[in-house]
């Protein structure tokens, strides 16, 4: 449904998006995830037709909608795509029903069909009782539902979401994740969702593209990214909690805990939090850090230690009797789950 080939976007001397190629099947829920400034919002704006690529092409359903090499872009209204902004961008002088009716009116639907369609999407989003209220008279969560209703009213084949949950509180974010997935399934559309929150990415997506520095670090299913991260960046960005990366210098963890199995390797070793345990004191397989925090997670405890640039988290059964700044000893398993080169690529 969405085909992106060799896409680049440059602002002056800054490369916002670099050589991105993706193929997204019809009905997928693609999440673009990454830290601030990684290029994900620029990607979404190019998909929406709000930015023209410097080079490369974008095609929807086999039809090219942007071609940077030829310097042309099909306008947003002709792309069969809907967009929900982070700010919702509702018309303040229109009622809820009026906001939803507007894109249908622009599309040329007759009044009877518009009224029918507005009622359908109001019912789908559960906001029929808000039809005659104005945006300043409803809550943030209700405004978000109106923005989604307005987007899906013309029945576009592609739904684009630009961090739509970032303005909501934590409880409402969880509720709205479920709501968005329900709407996605009900419409049968292909969705592209931008977020910096990897929890949202891993819980909502059928496909995830992890972005960093304008490039795609890895593209795949959530389970693939967690089980087989291609780069050190992906390994430490996805997962709850993310995996631990321990630097290896000349065959020794942190340059001081030698392991004959490592030979003379340099790079970093990946240890999953559930594979680590806590020890009473230092030993031949422990790393000593400063206790930083602990929090409950699904009946167990997530214990984190830091020292310098190193941060390690273990999932343990019981909470240790430690105070902030105490030493905590993390016992490593016999071997790491995987190893990354000094350049951050997974070693096969």
Of 176, 209, 233, the position where a domain reaches its end is: 233
pTM of the model: 0.88
Identify whether residues 120 and 224 lie together within a single domain: yes
Residue after which a domain boundary falls, among 233, 254, 285: 233
State the virtual CA torsion across 42, 43, 49, 52 in degrees, nearest 10.
70
Rounded Cα distance between 309 and 272, Å, is: 18
Q: Tally the domains of the chain.
A: 2
Do both 292 and 161 map to the same domain? Answer: no
Domain housing 316:
241-340
CA distance 275 to 106: 57
**Same domain for 101 and 47:** yes
| Rounded Cα–Cα distance for residues 304 and 290 (Å) | 9
DSSP 8-state code for residue 97: H
**CATH number of the structural domain spanning residue 286:** 2.40.50.140
Beta strand 29-33 with 207-212 is parallel
Instruction: Tell me what pLDDT residue 321 has.
Output: 87
Clarify whether residues 165 and 285 are in a common domain: no
Domain presence at residue 346: no
Q: Give yes or no: residues 216 and 249 share one domain.
A: no
Q: CA-to-CA distance for 330 and 304, rounded, in angstroms? A: 10
Q: Write out the chain's pLDDT in tens, 348 residues.
A: 999 999 999 999 999 999 999 999 999 999 999 999 999 999 999 999 999 999 999 999 999 999 999 999 999 989 999 998 878 889 999 999 999 999 999 989 999 999 999 999 999 988 999 999 999 999 988 998 899 999 999 999 999 999 888 877 888 888 888 888 988 998 999 999 999 888 889 999 999 999 999 999 999 999 999 999 999 999 999 988 999 999 999 999 999 888 888 889 999 999 999 999 999 888 878 999 999 999 999 899 999 999 999 999 999 999 888 898 899 999 999 999 999 999 999 996
Burial class (CB in 10 A: 0-12, 13-18, 19+), 248: buried
Q: Which two tokens stand for residue 211?
A: 């972005």
Nearest-angstrom CA–CA distance, 60 and 46: 12
Half-sphere exposure of 266 (CA within 13 A, CB side): 4
């Amino acid at each position: 449904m969405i085909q992106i080939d060799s896409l680049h976007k440059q602002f002056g001397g800054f490369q916002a998006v670099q050589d991105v190629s993706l193929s997204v099947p019809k009905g997928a829920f693609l999440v673009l995830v990454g830290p601030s400034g990684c290029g994900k919002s620029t990607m979404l704006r190019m998909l929406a037709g709000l930015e023209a690529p410097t080079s490369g092409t974008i095609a929807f359903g086999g039809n090219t909608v942007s071609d940077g090499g030829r310097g042309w872009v099909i306008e947003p209204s002709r792309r069969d795509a809907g967009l929900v902004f982070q700010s919702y961008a509702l018309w303040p002088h229109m009622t809820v029903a009026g906001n939803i009716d507007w894109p249908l009116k622009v599309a040329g639907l007759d009044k009877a069909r518009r009224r029918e369609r507005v009622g359908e999407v109001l019912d789908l989003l559960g906001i029929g009782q808000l039809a005659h209220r104005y945006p300043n008279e409803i809550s943030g969560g209700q405004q978000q539902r109106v923005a989604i209703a307005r987007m899906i009213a013309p029945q576009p084949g592609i739904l684009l979401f630009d961090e739509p949950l970032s303005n909501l509180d934590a409880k409402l974010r969880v509720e709205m994740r479920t709501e968005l997935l329900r709407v996605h399934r009900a419409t049968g559309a292909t969705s592209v969702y931008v977020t910096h929150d990897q929890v949202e990415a891993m819980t909502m997506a059928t496909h995830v593209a992890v972005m960093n520095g304008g490039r795609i670090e890895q593209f795949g299913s959530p389970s693939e990214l967690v089980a087989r991260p291609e780069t050190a960046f992906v390994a430490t960005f996805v997962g709850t909690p993310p995996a631990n990366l321990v630097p290896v210098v000349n065959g020794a963890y942190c340059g001081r805990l030698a392991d004959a199995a490592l030979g003379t390797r340099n790079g970093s070793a990946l240890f999953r939090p559930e594979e680590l345990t806590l020890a009473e004191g230092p030993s031949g397989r422990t790393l000593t850090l400063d206790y930083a925090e602990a929090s409950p997670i699904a009946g167990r405890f997530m214990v984190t230690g830091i020292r310098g640039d190193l941060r390690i988290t273990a999932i343990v059964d019981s909470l240790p009797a430690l105070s902030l700044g105490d030493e905590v000893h993390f016992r490593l398993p016999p071997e790491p789950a995987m190893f990354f080169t000094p350049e951050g690529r997974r070693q096969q």
